[in-house]
Amino acid sequence: MNERFLPTHVGIIMDGNGRWAQKRGLPRKMGHRAGASTFKEIARYANKIGLKYLTAYVFSTENWKRPQDEVDSIIALLRSYLDEMDGYAKENIRVRFIGDRTSFDDDIRGKMARAEEKSKNATGLTLILAINYGGRAEITNAARRIAEEAAKGMLQPEEITEESFSRYLYTNDIPDVDLIIRPSGEYRLSNFLIWQSAYAEYVFMDGVLWPNFKPADLDAAIEEYHHRSRRFGGLSNQNG
Ligand code: IPE
Ligand code: IPE
Ligand code: MG
């Protein structure tokens, strides 16, 4: 695929792990395990085709509502994946995490910081993992920090613009998402990148659950994206 034709930033809502497992009579955690290996394959593929930013929705602020053993199995997968992330620097993949890290144990937070630090000079794909991420929490946190600065007199209300506000988000130095892909037949955002997706294109894929998602499905979504006309409120198509 020609690099010139790629969206800058793709977001993926990796949904359908549980249903994939249930269909096979397996426990849901096996679906998460299969989903994790699909994720690794897609991240490598995205880097190979020259994509600049890929954000994957790994765990939402609402996913804590699930049974404790399911949450534990997801965190265990995260822990072992974080150890593998050391290899990304060599593959020229830069790793970033967005979401509230304070809910995680010190060892997980340390591994996240190490993965970011080790890969910070990579110039290929920026792989962003949304973990304990919620768009509303992100916006609320930004508003709280701005209010604190204003209360201290460090910031005037008129200095708050869309541009300055967005610098308080987790994604402060990351361009807005261009394309959001959601497999599994659900047609919603579920609190993913709600600020950053104001002008995103959406591709919902009915026929595929995340563990079955293939590089060809990413290609197909990007192809679909190219047939969209992005006007950003104006009259001319600014896509491509
Ligand atoms: C997505 O798959 C993974 C997480 C939300 C952590 P699900 O676990 O939501 O799978 P379904 O939607 O129940 O099939
Ligand atoms: C969204 O999927 C979160 C992730 C994929 C991590 P969910 O399965 O949690 O979303 P809902 O509950 O169907 O909206
Ligand atoms: Mg789901």
Q: What is the pLDDT of residue 3?
A: 55
> Tokens standing for 30?
């096996």
- Ligand 2 closest atom vs CA 188: 14
Report pTM: 0.97
Is the Cβ atom of 210 under 6 angstroms away from ligand 2?
no
Is the beta carbon of 30 within 6 A of some atom in ligand 1?
A: no
pLDDT confidence tier of residue 39, bands split at 50, 70 and 90: very high
For position 5, what pLDDT does the model report? 82
3-state SS of 108-143? HHHHHHHHHHHCCCCCCCEEEEEEEECHHHHHHHHH
| pLDDT score, position 162 | 97
Instruction: Compute the mean pLDDT over every residue in the chain, rounded to the nearest whole number.
Output: 96
Residue 140 Cα to ligand 2 midpoint, Å, equals 20
- For the CA of 186, the closest atom of ligand 2 is 13
Q: What pLDDT, on the 0 to 100 scale, is given for residue 2? A: 54
Backbone angles phi, psi at 25, to 5 degrees: 70, 25
89-129 pLDDT, tens digit each:
999 999 999 999 999 999 999 999 999 999 999 999 999 99
Residues of the chain with pLDDT > 70, as a percent, come to 98
Amino acid at the residue 205: M
pLDDT tens digits along 198-208? 999 999 999 99
The ligand placed nearest to the CA atom of residue 19 is 1
User: Which residues on adjacent β-strands are paired with residue 56?
Assistant: 12, 129
Check pocket membership of 222 for ligand 2, CB cut-off 6 A. no
Mean pLDDT across 185-192? 98
Query: What average pLDDT does range 135-142 have in this prediction?
Result: 98
Pairing type for strands 94-98 and 126-133 reads parallel
12, 13, 17, 190, best to mutate for ligand 1 pocket (most atoms within 8 Å of CB): 17
> Which residues sit with Cβ closer than 5 angstroms to ligand 3, an ion?
15
User: pLDDT tens across 216-240, in order?
Assistant: 999 999 999 999 989 999 999 998 6
Rounded mean pLDDT, 58-79: 98
Name residue, tokens 């026929």: 207
